[in-house]
Amino acid sequence: MKENRTYNDGVLARRPDQKIADFIHNRLRKEDYESVAFSVQHMDMVQACSLLRMSSETDVPLIFRLFPKGLAAEVFEHMGAPFQAQLLEAFTNSSEALRLIRKLEADDQLRLFDELPSNITTQLLDMLPKTNQEDVRRLMSYPDDTVGRIMSPAYYSFKQTAPLSEVLHIVRAGDAGRDAVHVYVCNEDGGVCGSVPLTAVLAEKDETRLIGDMVTAEPVVIRVQDDQEKAARLIQRLAVFELPVCDDDGYLVGTLRAYDALDVISEEVTDDMYDKVGLLDLNSRESDRSYGLIHKGFGHVFAVRVPFLIITLIGGMLAGGVIEVFEDILDAVAATALFIPVIMDMGGNVGTQSSTIFTRAMVLGQINMERFIKHWIRETLHGVGLGAILGVLGGGIAIVWQGSPELGLAVGLSLWATITIATSLGFLVPFLLIKMGFDQAAGSDPIITTVKDMTGLAIYFGMVSLLLPGLVS
């Protein structure tokens, strides 16, 4: 593993990744660009990508411009379309953006353009070389979710009668990019009739040999209109690096490569998982709500959060009313007041735990919303177990502390009941809020706290009244 290094007192010093990011951030704040440039000049691509991921949106363009040109191009290609789009939008010099885009292949350029605003896409596309424009526009013409949209238009193809010397001349020029793995052999009508591994072409010594004579097997062909996921699964099943793509007339027009197929499979598996559990629309809705609470003005935040907080305020007043009902018990034995915070806090903490567990599992697709009852019962049973353990522990402490077995039993049973109710509410409340279309992130905890406080106090004082009846005059 290569060691991370950064600039320190004029020399390169070994530092953990986070210290590199902190050091560079501080240098940028002081406009000490020379130190930053010195710090990044010896980084490899992995270290540079890691640094950008740890940096703020405002720092990323500054750091990227200070990378050596070769490293910058390598990082730009590796980081993916969303990062590329963010970076290009930060550039005020279109020629600088164009220099980076021209290093990408046409299918990668299309993914990038899909992430950019339409006006920037049009501007950059018009600045590309004519042949490059044609490739990108042709890919754009295919419908979403088809193979044509993600295929690479760069490939090697020759007629069966082409001599190896001609093939080698073109292959060595590298026109099909560095990722090509096959040379495709076509018949007179332009259809694919076979393929030859690129390694076999480069290893062949007899340059007078015809490329058609080197074909080992007829390749499996996919069509531009084929579904992306089905084609990707085919590549996965055949365990090949690429497959030729033909148009509706059977002409070779591109290749689908394994790494593009892997991206498709990854995206489809995630979408299918969310769709099965009813989270595809929910995920988008929750994302919009989260964005609003973080980035919108106070009026929006007020409208979302205050109604639930008013419910909590009212609930707190009602909880005070519960205490007032049992005021005689508090007057008779002051020790009962000592355990009110324990009952309320334990219920609140357990309820928050459960709601957080529910939310995380929901986002990760680990909860099937159509089978919620099963998950809810399981969590409630967990609450029964947790309540029993903590009830025995809390009740035992109360007995030793106050010397009253009856009071200890009341505390223990109250803890058991309150924790069981809290775990049940921790799953049930956010689920109901989601089903009713409310913001569960803003509403779950206030509602859980309100219901838990009132029920917890009622249970506690009810237990005290039942087990210590002599306290009530």
* Residue 302 confidence class, pLDDT cut points 50, 70, 90: low
Pick the last residue of a domain from 248, 275, 302: 275
Handedness of CA 98, 101, 105, 109 (dihedral sign): negative
Claim to verify: residue 311 and residue 382 sit in the same structural domain: yes
Asked if the structure places residue 147 within a domain, the reply is: no
Whether residue 112 is found in the same domain as residue 175: no
Band of pLDDT at residue 333, cut at 50, 70 and 90: low
CATH of the domain at 259: 3.10.580.10
Residue 151 lies in a domain: no
Given a cut of 60, whether residue 63 has pLDDT beyond it is yes
Q: What value does the mean pLDDT take over residues 377-395? A: 89
Helix (H) or strand (E) holding 364: none
Task: Assess whether 219 and 324 both reside in one domain.
Answer: no
Between 153-162, 399-408, 430-439, the lowest mean confidence (pLDDT) is in: 430-439
Lowest model confidence (mean pLDDT) among 138-142, 226-230, 299-303: 299-303
Q: What percent of the chain has pLDDT over 70?
A: 74
Match 């290569």 to its residue by tokens. 2
305 or 206, greater pLDDT: 206
For residue 229, being part of any structural domain is answered with: yes
For residue 144, the surrounding DSSP H or E stretch is none
d(CA 395, CA 69): 69
**pLDDT value at residue 324:** 62
3-class DSSP state of 176 = coil
Q: Does residue 148 sit within a domain?
A: no
Select from 252, 248, 253, 147 the least CA-distant residue to 189.
252
- Domain containing 269: what range? 156-275
Looking at residue 178, its pLDDT comes to 60
Question: What residue has token string 């191009």?
Answer: 73
Which one of 275, 310, 327 terminates a domain? 275
Is 164 inside any structural domain?
yes
Out of 18-27, 84-93, 384-393, pick the least confident: 84-93
Residue 301 and residue 254 in one domain = no
Question: CB under 8 Å, gap of 24 or more: what pairs does 5-9 form?
Answer: 5/39, 5/42, 5/43, 6/39, 7/35, 7/36, 7/38, 7/39
**Domain of residue 11, CATH code:** 1.25.60.10
| Residue that the structure tokens 């009026």 belong to | 299
Residue keyed to tokens 């402490």: 397
Is 45 found in the same domain as 90? yes
* pLDDT value at residue 386: 87
pLDDT given at position 170: 86
| 19 and 131 inside one domain | yes
**Residue 293: inside a domain, yes or no?**
yes
Q: Are residues 400 and 287 in the same domain?
A: yes
Q: Which residues pair with 223 in a beta bridge?
A: 246
Domain contains 208: yes
pLDDT for residue 15: 38
Average of pLDDT values for 437-462? Answer: 77
* Distance (Å) of CA 345 to CA 217, 383, 457: 72, 15, 11
What does the block give as tokens for 148? 């044509």
Averaged pLDDT score across all residues of the chain: 76
Average pLDDT over residues 206-234: 87
What's the DSSP call for residue 4?
P
Name which of 124-128, 213-217, 251-255 the model is least confident about.
Answer: 124-128
**Number of domains the chain is built from:** 3
Express each pLDDT in 224-265 by its tens digit: 999 888 888 888 888 888 899 998 888 888 888 888 888 787
Residues 320 and 405 in one domain: yes
What 3-state DSSP class applies to 263?
A: helix
Mean pLDDT of 270-293: 52
**Has residue 473 got a pLDDT over 60?**
no
- How confident is the model at residue 13, as a pLDDT? 35
The verdict on 204 and 311 lying in the same domain is no
Angle between helices 258-276 and 280-295 (to 10 degrees): 90
Closest CA to 43 of 54, 32, 56: 54
**Sheet strands (E) in 292-405:** none
The yes-or-no verdict on residue 126 having pLDDT over 70 is: yes
Q: Are strands 5-8 and 11-14 parallel, antiparallel or unpaired?
A: antiparallel
Tell me the pLDDT band of 223, cut-offs 50, 70 and 90. Answer: very high
Q: What is the pLDDT of residue 16?
A: 35
The partner residues of 459 in beta bridges, in order of sequence, read: none
pLDDT confidence tier of residue 5, bands split at 50, 70 and 90: very low
Give the end of a domain, one of 73, 107, 142.
Answer: 142
Regarding whether 187 and 121 lie in a shared domain, the answer is no
Distance CA 170, CA 416 (A): 78
- 324, with CB counted inside 10 A (0-12, 13-18, 19+), is exposed
- Whether residue 14 has pLDDT greater than 50: no
In three-state secondary structure terms, 244 is strand
- Same domain for 47 and 170, yes or no, is no
Condensed to tens digits (0 to 9), the pLDDT of residues 349-363 reads 888 888 888 877 776
| Helices and strands (H, E) in the chain, number of each type | 23, 8
DSSP letter string, 394-429 = HHHHHHHHH--HHHHHHHHHHHHHHHHHHHHHHHHH
The answer to whether residue 150 sits within a structural domain is: no
Q: Please give the structure tokens belonging to residue 300.
A: 């929006």
Pair (195, 271) in one structural domain: yes
Taking the C-alpha atoms of residue 275 and residue 280, their distance in angstroms, rounded to an integer, is 5
CATH code of the domain in which 337 resides: 1.10.357.20
What does the radius of gyration of the chain's CA atoms come to, in whole angstroms?
Answer: 33
Contacts for 256 with CB less than 8 Å, ≥ 6 apart:
147, 150, 151, 152, 222, 231, 232, 235, 242, 243, 245
Confidence at residue 9, expressed as pLDDT on a 0 to 100 scale: 35
pLDDT at 226: 92
